[in-house]
Amino acid sequence: MNYKDFNVIVFTGDVNTGNNGFVKYRKQTSLKRFQGYVDTKYPSWKFMTIYDRITNEKEVIKNNGIQPASFQKGF
């Protein structure tokens, strides 16, 4: 099976959570499902940084209600 895994760092907006507001999640495969999880667990999140585990490409997603085109296609 071919799939991608990502490391994701989320800024929760609350400096009392995680490491000064940053929480890291490893080996995420479904970014849309993960964003739903972040929306319910941290409703005031500000941004998340997504890293491809193989190529180390980086993308930043801000919580403004509009998703970038690469996030919509499932990366």
The answer to whether position 14 is within a domain reads: yes
Q: Is the pLDDT of residue 5 over 60?
A: yes
What span, in angstroms and rounded, lies between the C-alpha atoms of 2 and 24?
A: 24
What tens digit of pLDDT does each residue of 42-63 get? 888 888 999 998 888 888 878 7
Contacts of 22 (CB under 8 A, 6+ apart): 9, 10, 11, 12
The answer to whether position 73 is within a domain reads: no
The answer to whether position 75 is within a domain reads: no
Q: What pLDDT sits at residue 26?
A: 94
Domain range for 36 = 6-68
What span, in angstroms and rounded, lies between the C-alpha atoms of 73 and 20?
A: 31
Residue 61 CA, chain-centre distance (Å), reads: 7
The answer to whether position 51 is within a domain reads: yes
